[in-house]
Structure 1
Amino acid sequence: MYFGRIYSFDITQRFFWKLKMMNNTLVEAMDVEKKTIHHQKEEMIEREDLEELQKAAEVQRRLQPWKKQITVRGVIVSVFIGSIYSIITMKLALTAGINPHLNVSAALLAFIIVRTWTKLVRKVGLVSVPFTPQENTMIQTCAVACYSIALGGGFSSYMLALSKKTYEQTGVTTEGNPPGSYKEPGVGWMTGYLFAVCFIGLFVLIPLRKILIIDYKLTFPSGTATAILINGFHSMDDKMAKKQVRGFTKMFSLSFLWGFFQWFYSGQGLGECGFSKFPTFGLQAQRQTFYFDFSFTYVGTGMICPHVVNLSMLLGSVLSWGIMWPLIKKQKGHWFPEEIPEVSMRSLNGYKVFIPIALLLGDGLYNFIKITCITVSSMYVKFKGRKISSEESNNNDAIDNRTRDEVFIRENIPMWIAACGYISLAVVSAITIPLIFPALKWYYVVVAYICAPALAFCNAYGAGLTDLNMGYNYGKVGLFLIAALVGKEHGVVAGLAGAGLMKSVISVSCVLMQDFKTGHLTSTSPRAMFLSQAIGTATGCVVAPLIFFLFYKAFDVGNPNGEFKAPYGIIYRNMAILGVEGFSALPRYCLDLCYGFFALAVGINIVKDLSPARIGKWMPVPMAVALPFLVGAYVAIDMCIGSLVVFVWHKLNSKKAELMVPAVASGLICGEGLWVLPASILALAKVKPPICMKFLAS
């Protein structure tokens, strides 16, 4: 009986054991089937991606008409990217005065968004038009044209210099700064002024585009680099593209959340609380602006900018805030009166403003003369029939170049469009600009537009050879000339408005030529490029004033002790006063120091150009040295950390760094830069951070 029980229990055990084994086998079979199905799905997606790339390559070979190169999704994406980058560039311009080139970043972001878009549409079951390099180029062109208005529209320089706050900071009692010589920012007049001065730049050099790009074979380094990267995006392995997307997404999320986290500790918006005032090197160093302010925007910008620019800024920080300003401050009562407030131009602030002006003018004047000489000599050689570019190294390159040239010439923009557009817009500007700025008479506008085509051609030719857009320097020349001609009563306002007019026409035409070079190398139609540039410019003329006004109302823009210092505003105002008054506006010994730093800027450039490459590459950039003189050292520290990250990354894995640095840097810049938008809305709604994190001496 006992044995029978044991036997029956054993049978029962075996039954359940077999049942368990069958269940495990079934589960394993189901897992294998699931993995197989998942693997098949991945292979299907990869095949679809490969088919999409093949379709895109086929479309590229067949080259669609220019009307089909401009798509609805492309316009939507470009307006979105342009608006985001307008916020980012506006923040950079109003805080540190930095103007980084984000062309590559815009092209990468366009590639990420549209590729993600097409995959989502395909998963839903809809058919998507293949994403081609031509569409990528169109989006990049439109987005860059949009944010270029926020970058170069003068919101951080001559427009801000016209404000009442900047007028009061420069001293209302000075002879060249008479009462009422200001114009408060307003969305209406800013938008009208931008439409008047920016659109005309699109028509200046259209008749000369074939001469500059095909006949002279100018390189336009920024345009060429962007084209190479766009072509590379569309020919790279899909796994590499996924890595870039993941890298961008991770850094974007981290940067945005970090900006949100920092907001809680930034106190009542007085600029004295939060992580941005962390005394990294001690309280004494912090008082001299030497600290790391935990800004991912500047770290990402430092990853994009060349090492020499970041190190030049660090050198300028040590030279100014580490040595000069503490020593000059001790001369209070000797070099300048004790009772004068520090914001006055006849006190320490005068040295902080005019010495960097001397560096900027020295660097700008040297490069202006240098580019003019290079342009004249190169044009002379070209007209004499010599070749300024080397022959193609092989037949394939020659065939590719001939194909690109044919596309570039075939999609011609009629001469009458350029002539009618330029003349009609010049007439409109001559009528409307004096209505906005009565001090700037119509005949000054007419003379400026008569001279603009020749100056724009010289600037574009020089940029094609050296990648230096000298529009700002032409604007400064116009500022001094008009301010001096108009006189003391209205010279400041007229000079600032005239500077914006000259700079906008010359700079916009140069940017268009760089984009034409990108379109030439990606076989994009010039008509599509021109229309994309026009759409982006129109969008920027509307978006940029709104963004600036958001910053202007939400933050204390122009406060020398706040976050949004906007250094170029007070610099441009004082340049106009200098053009009216002469050197009598400077405090004691300031002129001598200005002479010295002007000579230093010229000397550095001469040594850089004449010395061997191994020495010249280590020479500082005077314009970068000048930036921290008024802003502070913290920006240079942030950007040098970005340089350090890139340097170490290249040492550890150079191939991965070359692939991922643009994506990571773009994510860092976009994330924290986009947080400014909700932060501005909170500030306008008078919602203040709950905590003030501040550090005091023990």
Structure 2
Amino acid sequence: MDATIGDPLLLASVERAFEKQPLPDFWEQATPRAMIVAVVLSVVFGFVTLQIQMSTGVVPGLNMPISVLSFIFLKWFVSLLRSCGLPGSEPFTRQENLLVLTTVTTVGNLALTGGFALYIIAMTSTVAKALGETNPDPRDIVDNFPTGQWMLFLLLIGLMSVLTSVPLNQVMILDYRLLFPTGTAQAHLINSFHTPHGAIMAKIQVATIFKFFFGSFSWTAFSWLYASGKDCGFSSFPLFGLQLYKKRFFFDFSATFIGVGMICPLMVNITFLVGGIASWGLLFPFLETKSGQWYHTPSPSSLAGINGYKVCKTKHPSLNYDDRRRIEVFLENKIPASLPVAAYGVCAIICGVVIPQIFHQVNFLHVIAMYIIVPVVALTNTYATGLTDWNIAYTYAKFTIFVVAAWVAKPGAIIVALVSCGLVVSALHISSQMTQDVKTGYMTLTSQRALIMMQTFGVIVGSVLTPCIFRAFQRSAKANVPIGAADSEYPCPYAMLYRAMAVIGTGGVKELPDHCLTFCYAAAGFAVAVNTLSVVSQRKGWKIQVYIPSVTVLALPFFIGSAVAIDMCIGSAVIFLWMKMNSQSAAILSSAVAAGLICGEGLFALPSALFTLFSVEAPMCMKFIHSGKQVDLADSFIRNMSTPAKP
């Protein structure tokens, strides 16, 4: 008798439910209809992404809306083909669904990191004058960037991103077995869309996903009503009091990161919280007492101020049927590491020749230096994304601006620094997102080769499409108010910050606050010591290995605050209590609950983006203030507010 009969985890197996469906071959996954739908959605999300980024500087994550819309568009397109009696009207698969998603996501990420609202706009005289540069050196200005050169530049950095990600895929997904929480949630969502009829346990999981999906979406929509203005709404809820709120310890009611906490190992969540306490609870309050002694600018974003100090493994579960099946398919379609490594070297040489022809301030050595640095940093950035869902490519990019500007330190240094920033931010951001999509592909039995082909297709589409969209916005802008100007319809707020960093960087290390490098060296030494202890303990089989924290996770709260750590620890608490109450139910449904929470809040990014596009603001602002006189002042102000006249 089969010992596995009656095992609820076997009944809950996703791939058992799909077992009777033949696995599509390469060309049944990367189909022409998938490419057509991907191009259509790329145009839509390209416009949305660029307009929001140029208007506000902050773009919400659009992966979940793209997942849902790719499913809807494919379903509609197949119905259209069927009604017209055309070939290609057979039902589409979960693999096609993912390939549309990864193509559109690649286009969107290329739009985000293509410099349209960041480093390319930062090169213009418009931004230079806004910073007070009355007579900027012509060698540090690029006002007219031809569309054809922009397309070529985007194509080169996009291919660099693809080639950076390929060697990381197997390491991150099979060797380290990282979760990539958003990628995992996307896989659950796509699998739920395509669950075969008759899979009873799978249907229960699907129902659970959609219950929490709609609950999370509804809560996020409700929360939005109270978020009109800075630090308004439930996302700034001072659960631990207003004093700790000022130190970034608060609960932001994020369903996404509660869901992430439910599927991340407990050690990761605790390490995240410890990092938050060490940074915002201890180190930064100490540094604030040194204002006027170690640094002399009150700006929280300047590298010359307090911000200058900031930029300076657990047991695996045994392999079940789903794991074995997914590993089998993943390895069948793997790409030999030698191929992308060789292609990366060729790409480096081509870029080293071509990019200096586009930007004359840049030379071959500058480009090659970035190509040497990127794979190393991409490893750490993708590892952080896989552990916690946080991509800190922009932090590395800002640091790159300062270092390269200090390295060159002559007229033209600003342009060299901004171009180097573009290479780094695109390669790191896009490659980590590509590996996340490969994680989704791993969980949906999608060919890794088909994924990489569609990612390359997305790079080609994005490099042609996004500059054209930008030119359309440029032509629609108000006369005599160019993109990047403070009073423009598209002010590109972060472009000014990026140029300011380059300007400061030209002054070299002396522009950093006192003792900044000392803190950097101490942090680096600590990281090396902890990682060495981790490696030795694993080799020796010491029991302490499960208690050694990840330094990468420990460092993240230094950049992003402690609210996320609190959300993730709440997710761990939910799982702990659930396991105590009903371990069987928790084992079967916890991933579905987490996926529903992540997907629901993620889907609200689409209406949020539309609200931003049409300048629709939330109707109310909810804030918290200290008791006593401040309450009386607030009441007095509200009572004296003029009320609108009755019609």
Normalising by structure 1, report the TM-score.
0.59
Contact 2:162-2:431 within 8 A present in 1 as well? yes
Amino acid at match of 2:454: S
Distance 1:317 1:205 in 2: 29
Distance 1:115 1:335 in 2: 58
| 1:194 aligned residue | 154
Distance 2:521 2:556 in 1: 18
| 1:498 aligned residue | 420
1:357 aligns with 2:311: yes
Distance 1:677 1:458, change over 3 A: closer
Contact 2:261-2:571 within 8 A present in 1 as well? yes
| 1:239 aligned residue | 200
Which one is further off, 641-650 or 468-477? 468-477
| 1:590 aligned residue | 516
1:318 aligns with 2:318: no
Distance 1:305 1:156, change over 3 A: farther
Amino acid at match of 1:323: L
| 1:330 aligned residue | 289
Distance 1:595 1:418 in 2: 31
Please list the CA deviations of residues 605-627 of structure 1 after superposition, one character each: whole Å capped at 9, or x if unmatched.
Answer: 22332335642333333333333
Contact 1:289-1:633 within 8 A present in 2 as well? yes
Amino acid at match of 1:531: M
> Which protein is bigger by CA-based radius of gyration?
1
| 1:599 aligned residue | 525
Which one is further off, 126-135 or 585-594? 126-135
Instruction: Report how far residue 584 of structure 1 moved.
Output: 0.9
| 1:36 aligned residue | none
Instruction: Report how far residue 636 of structure 1 moved.
Output: 2.5
Instruction: Report how far residue 79 of structure 1 moved.
Output: 7.1
Contiguous gaps of at least 5 residues in structure 1:
1-51, 359-366, 368-391, 558-565
Aligned residue for 2:277, secondary structure, equals helix
Contact 1:218-1:461 within 8 A present in 2 as well? no
Aligned residue for 1:250, secondary structure, equals helix
Amino acid at match of 1:637: I
Distance 1:635 1:426, change over 3 A: same
1:275 aligns with 2:213: no
Contact 1:134-1:524 within 8 A present in 2 as well? yes
Contact 2:163-2:341 within 8 A present in 1 as well? yes
Distance 1:163 1:497 in 2: 13
Within a 5 Å distance, the mapping from 1:158-307 to structure 2 comes to 193-202=153-162, 219=175, 221=177, 238-267=199-228, 269=229, 271-307=230-266
Distance 1:221 1:462, change over 3 A: farther
Instruction: Report how far residue 282 of structure 1 moved.
Output: 1.8
Contact 2:275-2:553 within 8 A present in 1 as well? yes
Distance 1:610 1:165 in 2: 54
Instruction: Report how far residue 644 of structure 1 moved.
Output: 2.6
Contact 2:41-2:70 within 8 A present in 1 as well? no
Distance 2:100 2:341 in 1: 23
Instruction: Report how far residue 657 of structure 1 moved.
Output: 3.6
| 2:90 aligned residue | 129
Distance 1:143 1:448, change over 3 A: same
Distance 1:609 1:429, change over 3 A: closer
Contact 2:109-2:429 within 8 A present in 1 as well? no
| 2:548 aligned residue | 619
Instruction: Report how far residue 354 of structure 1 moved.
Output: 2.8
1:610 aligns with 2:527: no
Contact 1:318-1:633 within 8 A present in 2 as well? yes
Distance 1:535 1:285 in 2: 48
Distance 1:648 1:524 in 2: 35
Distance 1:151 1:632 in 2: 23
Instruction: Report how far residue 646 of structure 1 moved.
Output: 3.4
Please list the CA deviations of residues 396-455 of structure 1 after superposition, one character each: whole Å capped at 9, or x if unmatched.
Answer: x99x96x9878779xx9xx9x9999997997589556754x45334x3577469x67x98
Instruction: Report how far residue 654 of structure 1 moved.
Output: 4.3
| 2:298 aligned residue | 341
Instruction: Report how far residue 497 of structure 1 moved.
Output: 1.6
Please list the CA deviations of residues 100-159 of structure 1 after superposition, one character each: whole Å capped at 9, or x if unmatched.
Answer: 9x99x89997998799989999x99x9973565754664565466456547876899967
Contact 1:220-1:514 within 8 A present in 2 as well? no
Please list the CA deviations of residues 187-209 of structure 1 after superposition, one character each: whole Å capped at 9, or x if unmatched.
Answer: 97977643331035547899x99
Please list the CA deviations of residues 496-540 of structure 1 after superposition, one character each: whole Å capped at 9, or x if unmatched.
Answer: 322432564588678878988997998866663443222333455
Amino acid at match of 2:459: T
Distance 1:79 1:588, change over 3 A: same
Amino acid at match of 1:59: P
Contact 1:203-1:421 within 8 A present in 2 as well? yes
Instruction: Give the percent of matched residue pairs that are identical in Structure 1 and Structure 2.
Output: 31
Contact 2:191-2:444 within 8 A present in 1 as well? no
Distance 2:380 2:294 in 1: 45
Please list the CA deviations of residues 530-585 of structure 1 after superposition, one character each: whole Å capped at 9, or x if unmatched.
Answer: 432223334555579979x99xx9xxx9xxxxxxxx99996x87986786444311
Aligned residue for 1:322, secondary structure, equals helix
Distance 1:518 1:298 in 2: 18
Within a 5 Å distance, the mapping from 1:28-43 to structure 2 comes to none
Contact 1:86-1:150 within 8 A present in 2 as well? no
Could you tell me which of 487, 492, 501 is aligned with 2:409? 487
Contact 2:30-2:96 within 8 A present in 1 as well? yes
Distance 1:458 1:196, change over 3 A: closer
Contact 1:567-1:631 within 8 A present in 2 as well? no
Instruction: Report how far residue 638 of structure 1 moved.
Output: 2.4
Distance 1:301 1:220 in 2: 18
Contact 1:314-1:637 within 8 A present in 2 as well? yes
Distance 1:150 1:610, change over 3 A: farther
| 1:59 aligned residue | 22
Distance 1:584 1:599 in 2: 22
Distance 2:176 2:210 in 1: 31
| 2:597 aligned residue | 668
Distance 2:567 2:495 in 1: 20
| 2:459 aligned residue | 537
Distance 1:485 1:687, change over 3 A: closer
Contact 1:78-1:110 within 8 A present in 2 as well? no
Distance 2:571 2:56 in 1: 18
Within a 5 Å distance, the mapping from 1:81-96 to structure 2 comes to none
Distance 1:108 1:488, change over 3 A: same
Contact 1:166-1:569 within 8 A present in 2 as well? yes
Could you tell me which of 553, 573, 592 is aligned with 1:644? 573
Which structure's residues are more often helix, by fraction?
A: 1
Distance 2:560 2:379 in 1: 31
| 2:30 aligned residue | 70
Amino acid at match of 1:591: L
| 1:10 aligned residue | none
Which one is further off, 177-186 or 296-305? 177-186
Distance 1:156 1:643 in 2: 38
| 1:30 aligned residue | none
Please list the CA deviations of residues 333-380 of structure 1 after superposition, one character each: whole Å capped at 9, or x if unmatched.
Answer: 44444xx43347477xx23x233323xxxxxxxx9xxxxxxxxxxxxx
